[in-house]
Structure 1
Amino acid sequence: MTGRAMTRVRWWARCWKRKMADPLPSQFARDMARRRFLLGMAGGIGSLALAGCGSRADAQAAGDSNCRASPWETDGPFPADGRGGRDRRINVLSSRDVVRRDIRPCFAGMEGEAEGVLLELELQLVEARFDCSMPLAGHAIYLWQNDAAGDYSLYNRRDVNYLRGLQVSDSEGMVRFTSILPGCYGGRSPHCHFEVFASEEAALSGEESLLTSQFAFPEEACRAVYESDARYGDSLANLERWPIARDFVFRDGDAEVRAMQVLALSDNGANGYFGTGRIALSL
Protein backbone atom coordinates (compact mmCIF):
# COMPACT_ATOMS: atom_id res chain seq x y z
CA MET A 1 0.00 0.00 0.00
CA THR A 2 1.40 3.43 -0.92
CA GLY A 3 1.98 6.12 1.67
CA ARG A 4 -0.86 8.14 0.16
CA ALA A 5 -3.22 5.20 0.35
CA MET A 6 -2.26 4.56 3.98
CA THR A 7 -2.93 8.20 4.78
CA ARG A 8 -6.42 7.87 3.31
CA VAL A 9 -7.06 4.78 5.43
CA ARG A 10 -5.90 6.48 8.63
CA TRP A 11 -7.92 9.61 7.79
CA TRP A 12 -11.03 7.55 7.25
CA ALA A 13 -10.52 5.60 10.46
CA ARG A 14 -10.16 8.74 12.56
CA CYS A 15 -12.52 11.18 10.89
CA TRP A 16 -15.36 9.27 9.27
CA LYS A 17 -16.48 6.35 11.40
CA ARG A 18 -19.35 4.73 9.59
CA LYS A 19 -20.54 1.15 9.57
CA MET A 20 -19.50 -0.82 6.49
CA ALA A 21 -22.32 -2.07 4.27
CA ASP A 22 -22.82 -4.87 1.77
CA PRO A 23 -21.29 -4.57 -1.74
CA LEU A 24 -23.04 -2.22 -4.11
CA PRO A 25 -24.53 -2.94 -7.58
CA SER A 26 -22.13 -4.74 -9.86
CA GLN A 27 -22.75 -2.72 -13.02
CA PHE A 28 -20.32 -0.09 -11.77
CA ALA A 29 -17.60 -2.58 -10.92
CA ARG A 30 -14.38 -2.36 -12.94
CA ASP A 31 -11.02 -4.00 -13.01
CA MET A 32 -9.11 -2.23 -10.22
CA ALA A 33 -5.70 -3.68 -11.00
CA ARG A 34 -4.88 -0.94 -13.51
CA ARG A 35 -6.15 1.79 -11.19
CA ARG A 36 -4.11 0.51 -8.25
CA PHE A 37 -1.04 0.51 -10.51
CA LEU A 38 -1.70 4.11 -11.56
CA LEU A 39 -2.31 5.21 -8.00
CA GLY A 40 0.88 3.51 -6.93
CA MET A 41 2.78 5.45 -9.58
CA ALA A 42 1.19 8.67 -8.35
CA GLY A 43 1.75 7.92 -4.69
CA GLY A 44 5.25 9.37 -4.71
CA ILE A 45 4.12 12.89 -5.49
CA GLY A 46 4.93 14.34 -2.10
CA SER A 47 3.56 17.79 -2.81
CA LEU A 48 0.09 16.31 -3.03
CA ALA A 49 0.24 14.21 0.13
CA LEU A 50 -3.01 14.33 2.07
CA ALA A 51 -2.88 16.45 5.23
CA GLY A 52 -3.46 14.80 8.60
CA CYS A 53 -6.87 14.70 10.30
CA GLY A 54 -7.77 18.01 11.89
CA SER A 55 -4.91 19.86 10.18
CA ARG A 56 -5.33 22.74 7.73
CA ALA A 57 -1.87 22.22 6.22
CA ASP A 58 -2.52 22.52 2.50
CA ALA A 59 -1.50 19.59 0.32
CA GLN A 60 -0.68 22.17 -2.32
CA ALA A 61 2.23 24.58 -2.41
CA ALA A 62 1.72 27.88 -0.62
CA GLY A 63 1.03 29.95 -3.73
CA ASP A 64 0.87 33.75 -3.87
CA SER A 65 0.30 35.54 -0.55
CA ASN A 66 -2.78 37.21 -2.02
CA CYS A 67 -4.31 33.96 -3.19
CA ARG A 68 -4.29 30.91 -0.98
CA ALA A 69 -4.53 27.48 -2.56
CA SER A 70 -7.70 25.52 -1.84
CA PRO A 71 -7.07 23.03 0.99
CA TRP A 72 -7.32 19.28 0.72
CA GLU A 73 -10.23 17.70 2.56
CA THR A 74 -11.45 14.16 3.17
CA ASP A 75 -13.20 12.59 0.17
CA GLY A 76 -15.77 10.75 2.30
CA PRO A 77 -18.44 9.67 2.35
CA PHE A 78 -18.01 7.46 -0.65
CA PRO A 79 -16.75 9.33 -3.69
CA ALA A 80 -17.62 6.30 -5.88
CA ASP A 81 -14.43 6.89 -7.85
CA GLY A 82 -12.94 3.45 -7.29
CA ARG A 83 -10.64 4.48 -4.45
CA GLY A 84 -12.46 4.76 -1.14
CA GLY A 85 -15.69 4.37 0.75
CA ARG A 86 -17.73 1.26 1.28
CA ASP A 87 -16.83 -0.59 -1.91
CA ARG A 88 -13.78 0.27 -3.98
CA ARG A 89 -15.14 -1.69 -6.92
CA ILE A 90 -17.78 1.00 -7.55
CA ASN A 91 -16.42 3.64 -9.92
CA VAL A 92 -18.76 6.02 -11.74
CA LEU A 93 -15.70 7.51 -13.45
CA SER A 94 -15.45 4.33 -15.51
CA SER A 95 -18.48 5.49 -17.54
CA ARG A 96 -18.43 8.44 -19.94
CA ASP A 97 -22.09 8.95 -19.08
CA VAL A 98 -20.86 10.69 -15.94
CA VAL A 99 -19.69 13.61 -18.12
CA ARG A 100 -22.77 15.80 -17.83
CA ARG A 101 -23.91 19.19 -16.60
CA ASP A 102 -27.27 18.22 -15.11
CA ILE A 103 -26.49 15.82 -12.28
CA ARG A 104 -30.04 15.46 -10.97
CA PRO A 105 -31.02 12.36 -12.99
CA CYS A 106 -29.49 8.92 -12.65
CA PHE A 107 -27.32 7.70 -15.52
CA ALA A 108 -25.68 4.61 -17.04
CA GLY A 109 -28.85 2.55 -16.94
CA MET A 110 -30.07 3.47 -13.44
CA GLU A 111 -33.39 5.28 -12.95
CA GLY A 112 -34.54 8.11 -10.73
CA GLU A 113 -34.01 11.83 -10.27
CA ALA A 114 -33.08 13.86 -7.19
CA GLU A 115 -35.80 16.24 -6.04
CA GLY A 116 -35.11 19.52 -4.31
CA VAL A 117 -34.65 23.26 -4.81
CA LEU A 118 -32.85 24.00 -8.09
CA LEU A 119 -29.19 24.99 -7.89
CA GLU A 120 -27.24 26.30 -10.88
CA LEU A 121 -23.61 26.04 -9.78
CA GLU A 122 -20.67 27.74 -11.47
CA LEU A 123 -17.11 27.01 -10.32
CA GLN A 124 -13.94 28.66 -11.58
CA LEU A 125 -10.61 26.85 -11.52
CA VAL A 126 -7.56 29.11 -11.28
CA GLU A 127 -3.81 28.91 -10.73
CA ALA A 128 -2.98 30.07 -7.20
CA ARG A 129 0.61 31.09 -7.95
CA PHE A 130 -0.50 34.03 -10.08
CA ASP A 131 -2.79 35.74 -7.60
CA CYS A 132 -5.70 33.61 -8.85
CA SER A 133 -5.76 35.62 -12.08
CA MET A 134 -4.87 32.74 -14.43
CA PRO A 135 -7.78 30.43 -15.32
CA LEU A 136 -7.03 26.75 -15.81
CA ALA A 137 -8.71 25.38 -18.93
CA GLY A 138 -9.10 21.72 -19.89
CA HIS A 139 -9.16 20.34 -16.36
CA ALA A 140 -11.96 18.05 -15.16
CA ILE A 141 -13.96 18.55 -11.98
CA TYR A 142 -15.92 15.64 -10.52
CA LEU A 143 -18.69 16.86 -8.19
CA TRP A 144 -20.88 14.81 -5.84
CA GLN A 145 -23.28 15.63 -3.02
CA ASN A 146 -26.14 14.27 -0.91
CA ASP A 147 -29.82 14.71 -1.78
CA ALA A 148 -32.56 16.66 0.03
CA ALA A 149 -33.05 13.85 2.55
CA GLY A 150 -29.32 13.79 3.33
CA ASP A 151 -28.63 10.54 1.45
CA TYR A 152 -25.76 9.83 -0.94
CA SER A 153 -26.35 7.77 -4.05
CA LEU A 154 -24.49 4.43 -4.11
CA TYR A 155 -23.98 4.80 -0.35
CA ASN A 156 -27.11 4.83 1.79
CA ARG A 157 -29.22 5.06 -1.41
CA ARG A 158 -27.90 2.03 -3.25
CA ASP A 159 -30.66 2.10 -5.87
CA VAL A 160 -29.63 5.41 -7.48
CA ASN A 161 -26.50 7.14 -8.76
CA TYR A 162 -27.73 10.71 -9.10
CA LEU A 163 -25.97 13.91 -7.93
CA ARG A 164 -22.66 12.88 -9.44
CA GLY A 165 -21.11 14.44 -12.53
CA LEU A 166 -17.95 15.47 -14.34
CA GLN A 167 -17.33 18.67 -16.32
CA VAL A 168 -14.29 20.11 -18.12
CA SER A 169 -13.21 23.71 -17.50
CA ASP A 170 -13.54 26.13 -20.43
CA SER A 171 -11.12 28.86 -21.51
CA GLU A 172 -12.12 30.91 -18.46
CA GLY A 173 -11.60 27.98 -16.12
CA MET A 174 -15.36 27.60 -15.63
CA VAL A 175 -17.42 24.48 -15.06
CA ARG A 176 -21.18 24.48 -14.58
CA PHE A 177 -23.51 22.01 -12.90
CA THR A 178 -27.29 21.88 -12.56
CA SER A 179 -28.11 20.32 -9.20
CA ILE A 180 -30.22 20.83 -6.09
CA LEU A 181 -29.51 22.48 -2.79
CA PRO A 182 -28.34 19.59 -0.59
CA GLY A 183 -30.00 18.65 2.65
CA CYS A 184 -28.24 18.71 6.02
CA TYR A 185 -27.72 15.33 7.65
CA GLY A 186 -26.58 14.56 11.19
CA GLY A 187 -22.96 15.42 11.88
CA ARG A 188 -22.25 17.75 8.94
CA SER A 189 -23.09 21.24 7.77
CA PRO A 190 -24.55 21.42 4.21
CA HIS A 191 -21.76 20.79 1.71
CA CYS A 192 -20.65 19.21 -1.56
CA HIS A 193 -17.50 17.30 -2.54
CA PHE A 194 -15.25 17.66 -5.56
CA GLU A 195 -12.09 16.31 -7.14
CA VAL A 196 -9.95 18.08 -9.74
CA PHE A 197 -8.17 16.11 -12.48
CA ALA A 198 -5.65 17.19 -15.10
CA SER A 199 -8.12 16.38 -17.89
CA GLU A 200 -11.26 14.45 -18.71
CA GLU A 201 -9.18 11.48 -19.82
CA ALA A 202 -7.18 11.60 -16.59
CA ALA A 203 -10.40 11.36 -14.60
CA LEU A 204 -11.87 8.56 -16.69
CA SER A 205 -8.68 6.50 -16.93
CA GLY A 206 -7.96 6.25 -13.22
CA GLU A 207 -5.27 8.88 -12.73
CA GLU A 208 -4.84 10.50 -9.33
CA SER A 209 -6.67 13.75 -8.62
CA LEU A 210 -4.79 17.04 -8.31
CA LEU A 211 -7.05 18.10 -5.45
CA THR A 212 -9.85 16.64 -3.35
CA SER A 213 -11.86 19.12 -1.31
CA GLN A 214 -15.31 20.39 -0.29
CA PHE A 215 -17.51 23.48 -0.42
CA ALA A 216 -19.91 24.55 2.33
CA PHE A 217 -23.28 26.20 1.65
CA PRO A 218 -24.33 29.48 3.31
CA GLU A 219 -26.45 28.81 6.38
CA GLU A 220 -28.94 31.64 5.79
CA ALA A 221 -30.03 30.38 2.37
CA CYS A 222 -30.13 26.77 3.54
CA ARG A 223 -32.19 27.67 6.59
CA ALA A 224 -34.75 29.50 4.45
CA VAL A 225 -35.16 26.47 2.19
CA TYR A 226 -35.28 23.95 5.03
CA GLU A 227 -37.97 25.94 6.82
CA SER A 228 -40.30 26.02 3.81
CA ASP A 229 -39.72 22.78 1.89
CA ALA A 230 -40.89 19.50 3.41
CA ARG A 231 -38.64 17.49 1.09
CA TYR A 232 -35.71 18.49 3.30
CA GLY A 233 -37.02 16.57 6.31
CA ASP A 234 -34.82 17.01 9.40
CA SER A 235 -32.35 19.32 7.65
CA LEU A 236 -33.29 22.41 9.66
CA ALA A 237 -32.87 20.65 13.00
CA ASN A 238 -29.56 19.18 11.84
CA LEU A 239 -28.31 22.57 10.68
CA GLU A 240 -29.07 24.09 14.07
CA ARG A 241 -26.97 21.37 15.71
CA TRP A 242 -24.14 21.36 13.14
CA PRO A 243 -23.53 24.84 11.71
CA ILE A 244 -20.33 25.52 9.76
CA ALA A 245 -18.54 26.57 12.95
CA ARG A 246 -19.05 23.05 14.39
CA ASP A 247 -18.43 21.08 11.19
CA PHE A 248 -15.29 18.95 11.58
CA VAL A 249 -14.14 19.68 8.02
CA PHE A 250 -14.51 23.46 8.09
CA ARG A 251 -14.23 24.45 11.76
CA ASP A 252 -10.43 24.29 12.05
CA GLY A 253 -9.77 26.78 9.26
CA ASP A 254 -9.09 30.45 9.89
CA ALA A 255 -11.57 33.05 8.68
CA GLU A 256 -9.89 33.44 5.30
CA VAL A 257 -9.80 29.72 4.56
CA ARG A 258 -13.38 29.25 5.70
CA ALA A 259 -14.52 32.11 3.45
CA MET A 260 -12.83 30.39 0.49
CA GLN A 261 -14.77 27.23 1.17
CA VAL A 262 -18.27 28.74 1.38
CA LEU A 263 -20.14 29.06 -1.89
CA ALA A 264 -21.84 32.35 -2.73
CA LEU A 265 -25.58 31.85 -3.31
CA SER A 266 -28.13 34.21 -4.80
CA ASP A 267 -31.81 33.78 -5.65
CA ASN A 268 -32.07 33.17 -9.40
CA GLY A 269 -35.70 34.24 -9.54
CA ALA A 270 -36.90 30.84 -10.76
CA ASN A 271 -37.58 29.07 -7.46
CA GLY A 272 -33.92 28.23 -7.14
CA TYR A 273 -30.42 29.50 -6.49
CA PHE A 274 -27.33 30.46 -8.45
CA GLY A 275 -24.09 29.48 -6.75
CA THR A 276 -20.48 30.41 -7.42
CA GLY A 277 -17.17 29.30 -6.03
CA ARG A 278 -13.45 29.38 -6.81
CA ILE A 279 -10.96 26.52 -6.71
CA ALA A 280 -7.30 27.53 -6.59
CA LEU A 281 -4.60 25.04 -7.56
CA SER A 282 -0.88 25.50 -7.13
CA LEU A 283 0.66 23.46 -9.96
Structure 2
Amino acid sequence: MADTEHDHDGGLARDLPMLRRRRLLGVVGGSAVAALTGAGPAYASIPRIPEETAGPYPADGSNGPNILTTSGLVRQNITRSVGKAKGVAKGIPLIIKLRLVHAATEKAATGLAVYLWHCNRDGLYSLYSKGLTGENYLRGVQASNSTGWVRFTSIYPACYSGRWPHIHFEVYPSVAKATRAKNKLHTSQLALPAKTNALVYATSGYASSKRNVSQVSLATDNVFSDGYAQELATVTGSVTKGFTAVLTIGV
Protein backbone atom coordinates (compact mmCIF):
# COMPACT_ATOMS: atom_id res chain seq x y z
CA MET A 1 0.00 0.00 0.00
CA ALA A 2 1.44 3.34 -1.04
CA ASP A 3 2.44 5.80 1.66
CA THR A 4 1.06 8.99 0.16
CA GLU A 5 1.12 11.32 -2.80
CA HIS A 6 1.47 14.45 -0.63
CA ASP A 7 3.97 17.23 -1.19
CA HIS A 8 5.11 17.30 2.43
CA ASP A 9 7.74 19.98 1.78
CA GLY A 10 5.01 22.28 0.54
CA GLY A 11 2.84 21.41 3.53
CA LEU A 12 5.61 22.20 6.00
CA ALA A 13 6.34 25.49 4.28
CA ARG A 14 2.69 26.46 4.78
CA ASP A 15 2.72 25.26 8.40
CA LEU A 16 5.73 27.20 9.68
CA PRO A 17 4.29 30.76 9.43
CA MET A 18 1.27 29.69 11.51
CA LEU A 19 3.52 28.12 14.13
CA ARG A 20 5.58 31.31 14.42
CA ARG A 21 2.41 33.42 14.80
CA ARG A 22 1.00 31.05 17.39
CA ARG A 23 4.12 31.19 19.57
CA LEU A 24 4.25 35.00 19.26
CA LEU A 25 0.58 35.41 20.20
CA GLY A 26 1.12 33.22 23.25
CA VAL A 27 3.91 35.49 24.47
CA VAL A 28 2.06 38.71 23.69
CA GLY A 29 -1.19 37.49 25.26
CA GLY A 30 0.51 36.42 28.47
CA SER A 31 2.45 39.65 28.70
CA ALA A 32 -0.69 41.74 28.23
CA VAL A 33 -2.50 39.98 31.05
CA ALA A 34 0.52 40.32 33.33
CA ALA A 35 0.77 44.02 32.57
CA LEU A 36 -2.89 44.62 33.41
CA THR A 37 -3.01 42.57 36.60
CA GLY A 38 0.51 42.72 37.88
CA ALA A 39 0.55 38.94 37.98
CA GLY A 40 1.81 36.14 35.75
CA PRO A 41 -0.12 34.98 32.68
CA ALA A 42 -3.74 34.02 33.39
CA TYR A 43 -5.92 31.69 31.37
CA ALA A 44 -9.62 30.87 31.12
CA SER A 45 -10.60 27.54 32.61
CA ILE A 46 -11.37 26.36 29.07
CA PRO A 47 -8.75 28.07 26.88
CA ARG A 48 -9.48 28.90 23.28
CA ILE A 49 -8.40 26.15 20.93
CA PRO A 50 -4.93 26.93 19.53
CA GLU A 51 -4.91 28.23 15.98
CA GLU A 52 -3.23 25.82 13.59
CA THR A 53 -2.55 25.67 9.88
CA ALA A 54 -5.27 24.28 7.63
CA GLY A 55 -2.47 22.54 5.73
CA PRO A 56 -2.28 22.20 1.96
CA TYR A 57 -5.58 20.32 1.50
CA PRO A 58 -8.45 22.26 3.11
CA ALA A 59 -10.78 22.45 0.07
CA ASP A 60 -12.30 25.61 1.55
CA GLY A 61 -11.33 27.77 -1.42
CA SER A 62 -8.12 29.04 0.18
CA ASN A 63 -5.91 26.57 -1.69
CA GLY A 64 -7.56 25.13 -4.76
CA PRO A 65 -11.03 23.54 -4.68
CA ASN A 66 -13.93 24.73 -2.52
CA ILE A 67 -16.13 21.84 -1.36
CA LEU A 68 -18.04 23.99 1.13
CA THR A 69 -20.51 25.25 -1.47
CA THR A 70 -21.34 21.71 -2.63
CA SER A 71 -24.86 20.46 -1.91
CA GLY A 72 -24.93 17.58 0.54
CA LEU A 73 -21.82 18.53 2.50
CA VAL A 74 -23.84 19.30 5.63
CA ARG A 75 -23.96 15.73 6.89
CA GLN A 76 -22.98 13.54 9.82
CA ASN A 77 -21.65 10.53 7.92
CA ILE A 78 -18.59 11.64 5.94
CA THR A 79 -17.41 8.22 4.75
CA ARG A 80 -19.02 8.64 1.31
CA SER A 81 -18.50 11.24 -1.38
CA VAL A 82 -21.40 13.53 -2.27
CA GLY A 83 -22.77 14.70 -5.60
CA LYS A 84 -21.69 12.76 -8.69
CA ALA A 85 -18.74 11.19 -6.86
CA LYS A 86 -19.39 7.66 -5.58
CA GLY A 87 -16.28 6.82 -3.55
CA VAL A 88 -16.46 5.29 -0.07
CA ALA A 89 -13.60 5.55 2.45
CA LYS A 90 -12.67 2.20 4.00
CA GLY A 91 -11.11 1.75 7.42
CA ILE A 92 -11.70 1.18 11.12
CA PRO A 93 -14.90 3.07 12.11
CA LEU A 94 -14.39 6.31 14.05
CA ILE A 95 -17.04 8.58 15.55
CA ILE A 96 -15.75 12.12 16.14
CA LYS A 97 -17.55 14.12 18.83
CA LEU A 98 -16.59 17.75 19.43
CA ARG A 99 -18.13 19.95 22.13
CA LEU A 100 -17.91 23.67 21.48
CA VAL A 101 -17.92 25.93 24.54
CA HIS A 102 -17.35 29.63 25.10
CA ALA A 103 -13.87 29.90 26.58
CA ALA A 104 -14.71 32.63 29.08
CA THR A 105 -17.87 31.06 30.49
CA GLU A 106 -17.66 27.35 29.63
CA LYS A 107 -21.24 27.58 28.39
CA ALA A 108 -22.22 25.59 25.31
CA ALA A 109 -21.58 27.40 22.04
CA THR A 110 -24.72 26.60 20.08
CA GLY A 111 -25.45 27.15 16.41
CA LEU A 112 -21.82 27.30 15.33
CA ALA A 113 -20.69 25.19 12.37
CA VAL A 114 -17.71 22.86 12.19
CA TYR A 115 -16.16 21.92 8.86
CA LEU A 116 -14.06 18.78 9.45
CA TRP A 117 -11.76 16.83 7.13
CA HIS A 118 -8.93 14.29 7.24
CA CYS A 119 -6.99 11.80 5.13
CA ASN A 120 -8.07 8.24 4.33
CA ARG A 121 -6.39 5.05 5.55
CA ASP A 122 -3.77 5.38 2.80
CA GLY A 123 -2.80 8.88 3.95
CA LEU A 124 -4.45 10.53 0.93
CA TYR A 125 -6.83 13.49 0.79
CA SER A 126 -9.91 13.66 -1.39
CA LEU A 127 -9.97 16.41 -4.03
CA TYR A 128 -6.15 16.67 -3.99
CA SER A 129 -4.29 13.36 -3.98
CA LYS A 130 -3.57 11.39 -7.15
CA GLY A 131 -6.55 9.23 -8.01
CA LEU A 132 -8.86 11.08 -5.59
CA THR A 133 -9.33 14.47 -7.26
CA GLY A 134 -12.84 13.42 -8.25
CA GLU A 135 -13.81 12.26 -4.75
CA ASN A 136 -14.84 14.42 -1.77
CA TYR A 137 -15.28 11.96 1.09
CA LEU A 138 -14.00 12.49 4.64
CA ARG A 139 -15.22 16.09 4.57
CA GLY A 140 -18.38 17.46 6.15
CA VAL A 141 -20.14 20.25 8.04
CA GLN A 142 -22.26 20.00 11.19
CA ALA A 143 -23.93 22.62 13.42
CA SER A 144 -23.40 22.52 17.18
CA ASN A 145 -26.59 21.52 18.99
CA SER A 146 -28.18 22.99 22.13
CA THR A 147 -25.42 21.49 24.30
CA GLY A 148 -22.59 22.47 21.95
CA TRP A 149 -21.97 19.05 20.40
CA VAL A 150 -21.23 18.11 16.80
CA ARG A 151 -20.81 14.52 15.68
CA PHE A 152 -19.26 12.93 12.59
CA THR A 153 -19.20 9.29 11.52
CA SER A 154 -15.94 8.55 9.77
CA ILE A 155 -12.97 6.16 9.60
CA TYR A 156 -9.69 6.24 11.50
CA PRO A 157 -7.18 8.29 9.47
CA ALA A 158 -3.73 7.09 8.50
CA CYS A 159 -0.40 8.31 9.75
CA TYR A 160 1.44 9.58 6.72
CA SER A 161 5.13 10.39 6.59
CA GLY A 162 6.13 13.47 8.58
CA ARG A 163 2.90 14.04 10.56
CA TRP A 164 1.34 12.68 13.75
CA PRO A 165 -2.17 11.24 13.15
CA HIS A 166 -4.58 14.17 13.12
CA ILE A 167 -7.93 15.59 12.01
CA HIS A 168 -8.46 19.11 10.67
CA PHE A 169 -11.38 21.39 11.45
CA GLU A 170 -12.60 24.95 10.99
CA VAL A 171 -15.26 26.73 13.05
CA TYR A 172 -17.75 29.15 11.48
CA PRO A 173 -20.49 31.36 12.99
CA SER A 174 -23.24 29.30 11.34
CA VAL A 175 -23.91 26.66 8.71
CA ALA A 176 -24.95 29.42 6.32
CA LYS A 177 -21.55 31.07 6.74
CA ALA A 178 -19.67 27.77 6.53
CA THR A 179 -21.32 26.75 3.27
CA ARG A 180 -20.24 30.07 1.78
CA ALA A 181 -16.75 29.80 3.33
CA LYS A 182 -17.32 33.17 5.05
CA ASN A 183 -16.25 34.63 8.42
CA LYS A 184 -14.20 31.68 9.67
CA LEU A 185 -13.63 31.89 13.44
CA HIS A 186 -11.00 29.23 14.13
CA THR A 187 -8.77 26.74 12.34
CA SER A 188 -7.22 23.93 14.33
CA GLN A 189 -6.38 20.22 14.47
CA LEU A 190 -7.24 17.26 16.67
CA ALA A 191 -4.46 14.82 17.66
CA LEU A 192 -5.13 11.11 18.12
CA PRO A 193 -3.53 9.27 21.08
CA ALA A 194 -0.62 6.88 20.71
CA LYS A 195 -2.34 3.93 22.38
CA THR A 196 -5.24 3.92 19.92
CA ASN A 197 -2.95 4.55 16.97
CA ALA A 198 -1.01 1.39 17.86
CA LEU A 199 -4.19 -0.70 17.98
CA VAL A 200 -5.55 0.57 14.66
CA TYR A 201 -2.27 0.51 12.77
CA ALA A 202 -1.71 -3.14 13.67
CA THR A 203 -4.76 -4.06 11.54
CA SER A 204 -4.96 -4.91 7.86
CA GLY A 205 -5.02 -1.86 5.60
CA TYR A 206 -2.88 0.38 7.80
CA ALA A 207 0.55 -1.19 7.19
CA SER A 208 2.22 2.03 6.04
CA SER A 209 0.82 3.90 9.06
CA LYS A 210 2.45 1.46 11.46
CA ARG A 211 5.83 2.27 9.93
CA ASN A 212 5.22 6.03 9.65
CA VAL A 213 3.97 6.52 13.23
CA SER A 214 7.16 4.93 14.57
CA GLN A 215 9.13 7.78 13.01
CA VAL A 216 7.24 10.72 14.56
CA SER A 217 5.90 11.78 17.94
CA LEU A 218 3.73 14.54 19.36
CA ALA A 219 6.94 16.16 20.60
CA THR A 220 8.49 16.23 17.11
CA ASP A 221 5.39 16.83 14.98
CA ASN A 222 5.61 20.20 13.21
CA VAL A 223 2.14 21.25 14.44
CA PHE A 224 1.79 19.70 17.91
CA SER A 225 5.40 20.06 19.12
CA ASP A 226 4.70 23.44 20.78
CA GLY A 227 1.81 22.08 22.85
CA TYR A 228 -1.05 19.66 22.31
CA ALA A 229 -2.91 19.47 25.65
CA GLN A 230 -6.01 21.20 24.22
CA GLU A 231 -5.92 19.22 20.99
CA LEU A 232 -5.39 15.62 22.16
CA ALA A 233 -8.67 13.73 21.93
CA THR A 234 -9.88 11.12 24.39
CA VAL A 235 -10.55 7.92 22.43
CA THR A 236 -12.51 4.88 23.57
CA GLY A 237 -13.63 1.70 21.84
CA SER A 238 -12.06 -1.25 20.09
CA VAL A 239 -10.84 -2.41 16.70
CA THR A 240 -13.81 -4.75 16.33
CA LYS A 241 -16.54 -2.28 17.33
CA GLY A 242 -14.90 0.98 16.25
CA PHE A 243 -13.70 3.98 18.22
CA THR A 244 -15.08 7.30 19.47
CA ALA A 245 -12.86 10.40 19.73
CA VAL A 246 -14.03 13.23 21.99
CA LEU A 247 -12.61 16.74 22.36
CA THR A 248 -13.84 19.95 24.02
CA ILE A 249 -13.11 23.06 21.97
CA GLY A 250 -12.95 26.53 23.50
CA VAL A 251 -14.11 29.25 21.11
**CA separation in 1, counterparts of 2:182 and 2:20?**
22
Looking at both structures, which has the greater relative contact order when contacts are Cα pairs under 8 Å and sequence separation is at least 6?
2
Instruction: Pick the aligned partner of 2:55 from 55, 76, 82.
Output: 76
**CA separation in 2, counterparts of 1:12 and 1:235?**
18
Asked whether the equivalents of residues 199 and 239 of structure 2 are also in contact (C-alpha less than 8 Å), the reply is no
Instruction: Pick the aligned partner of 1:52 from 11, 20, 35.
Output: 20
- Matched letter for residue 241 of structure 2: N
Change in CA separation of 1:56 and 1:179 when aligned onto 2, cut-off 3 Å: farther
Asked whether the equivalents of residues 56 and 71 of structure 1 are also in contact (C-alpha less than 8 Å), the reply is no
Normalising by the residue count of structure 1, what TM-score does the alignment of the two structures yield? 0.75
SS of the residue aligned with 2:72? helix
Residue of structure 2 equivalent to 1:232: 206
Asked whether the equivalents of residues 123 and 278 of structure 1 are also in contact (C-alpha less than 8 Å), the reply is yes
RMSD (CA atoms) = 2.5
**CA separation in 1, counterparts of 2:234 and 2:214?**
20
Determine whether 1:134 maps to 2:107: yes
Determine whether 1:107 maps to 2:82: yes
Higher helix share: 1
Change in CA separation of 1:260 and 1:54 when aligned onto 2, cut-off 3 Å: closer
In structure 1, list runs of 5 or more residues that go unmatched. 1-10, 18-49
Alignment of 1:10-29 (within 5 A): 14-16=13-15
- Matched letter for residue 23 of structure 2: S
Determine whether 1:152 maps to 2:120: no
Change in CA separation of 1:221 and 1:82 when aligned onto 2, cut-off 3 Å: same
Output one character per residue of 1:181-225: Cα deviation in whole Å (capped at 9) or x when no partner: 111000100000000000000111231310000000001111111
Residue of structure 1 equivalent to 2:149: 174
Asked whether the equivalents of residues 92 and 239 of structure 2 are also in contact (C-alpha less than 8 Å), the reply is no
Change in CA separation of 1:12 and 1:223 when aligned onto 2, cut-off 3 Å: closer
Instruction: Pick the aligned partner of 2:244 from 264, 274, 278.
Output: 274
Could you tell me how far 1:64 is from its partner in structure 2?
4.6
Asked whether the equivalents of residues 104 and 163 of structure 1 are also in contact (C-alpha less than 8 Å), the reply is yes
Alignment of 1:188-227 (within 5 A): 188-227=163-202
SS of the residue aligned with 2:13? helix
Residue of structure 1 equivalent to 2:159: 184
**CA separation in 1, counterparts of 2:96 and 2:23?**
28
Residue of structure 2 equivalent to 1:260: 230
Could you tell me how far 1:74 is from its partner in structure 2?
0.3
Could you tell me how far 1:230 is from its partner in structure 2?
2.0
Could you tell me how far 1:159 is from its partner in structure 2?
3.0
Residue of structure 1 equivalent to 2:220: 246
SS of the residue aligned with 1:238? helix
Normalising by the residue count of structure 2, what TM-score does the alignment of the two structures yield? 0.84
Output one character per residue of 1:4-48: Cα deviation in whole Å (capped at 9) or x when no partner: xxxxxxx9673459xxxxxxxxxxxxxxxxxxxxxxxxxxxxxxx
- Paired-residue identity, %: 35
In structure 2, list runs of 5 or more residues that go unmatched. 1-9, 31-41
**CA separation in 1, counterparts of 2:182 and 2:218?**
32
